[in-house]
Amino acid sequence: MVKCPMCGTEVQPAKTWQLVSPLPDADSRLTITVMGSFKCPSCGYSWRGKVSVMKVGPNGEVEFQKGKTKRRKKRKKEREEQPRGGTVIEIDISEIIEDEL
């Protein structure tokens, strides 16, 4: 769940999509960034932001990242660009894999 940056209401993404990095990482895993578009039902503010990041391994294993781990130095900058970014929500992984095929 992501909170509205304007009023703090918890908002579900109206739409999500995945950005797949063309290059696998050192462990041959693909990095998939899940982006979302949000519209606050309370104040009407709409925005887009990163919902979550996950890595899919060559055997289909999936690892979710919260976006704020491992990158302490970038944290401040990320927060400026995406004040409420990095929140993990539940998504249907099988749907994503179907998109990739």
Cα–Cα distance measured from residue 57 to residue 25, given in angstroms and rounded to the nearest whole number? 10
Rg (CA), the chain: 14
> Considering the complex, what minimum distance in angstroms separates the CB of residue 20 from Zn ion?
30
The answer to whether residue 14 forms part of the interface with Zn ion (CB under 5 A) is: no
Residue 7 within binding range of Zn ion, rule CB under 5 A: yes
Query: CB 22 → Zn ion: shortest distance, Å?
Result: 35
Which of 43, 62, 89, 97: binder of Zn ion (CB under 5 A)? Answer: 43
Question: Minimum CB separation from Zn ion for residue 95, in Å?
Answer: 27
CA 95, distance to chain mean position in Å, is 15
Confirm if 32 and 23 have CB atoms less than 8 A apart: no
Task: Rule CB under 5 A: say whether 9 interacts with Zn ion.
Answer: yes
Question: What is the contact surface with Zn ion in residues (CB under 5 A)?
Answer: 4, 6-7, 9, 40, 42-43, 45
